[in-house]
Homo-oligomer: A and B are copies of this chain.
Amino acid sequence: MLLGLEGSTAVSVSIAAERLEVSQHHLAKVVQALAHAGVVETVRGRGGGVRLVPDADEFTVGSIVRALEPMTLVECFDSERSRCGLQPACRLAPMLDRAVEAFLASLDAHTLGELWSRPRRLRVLLG
């Protein structure tokens, strides 16, 4: 949301951390994940920092959640870690799997652009 207000201007991680009242360390990790998802890019040198890619507002919220959050809701979603003896006959896991898909499909109906489409109050809050 903060970057959405800034348009094509890069914001340094330290200034963004201050405005969002979170630690720089945490924010650096979030920026890295968002860069990996292709929604932000980092700009080096003076006036550098992080900014949205030009078409960022067209990304769906679902695509970002998929990129940032491992959706292994239960251990057995990760076949390598699973130690549950019920797995070969379990009918709950596929239900949960479809429920996660419903969760993400709901977020796929929204774009990032919607998050900063009413910027006035956001600007006030982000000082």
Copies in the complex: 2
The residues of B that contact A101 with a CB separation of less than 8 Å are 106
A-to-B contact residues, CB < 8 Å: 1, 20-21, 61, 83, 85-86, 88-92, 95-96, 98-107, 110, 114-115, 117-118, 121-122, 124-126
Known: A86-B125, A125-B86, A126-B86. A115 touches B102 (CB 8 A): no
The 3 A-B residue pairs whose C-beta atoms are closest, nearest first, are: A89-B121, A99-B106, A102-B106
Q: A86-B122, A98-B106, A100-B103 are in contact. List 20 more A-B contacts (CB 8 A).
A: A1-B90, A1-B92, A20-B85, A20-B86, A21-B83, A61-B95, A86-B126, A88-B121, A89-B118, A89-B122, A91-B114, A91-B115, A91-B118, A95-B110, A95-B114, A99-B103, A99-B104, A99-B107, A102-B103, A103-B103
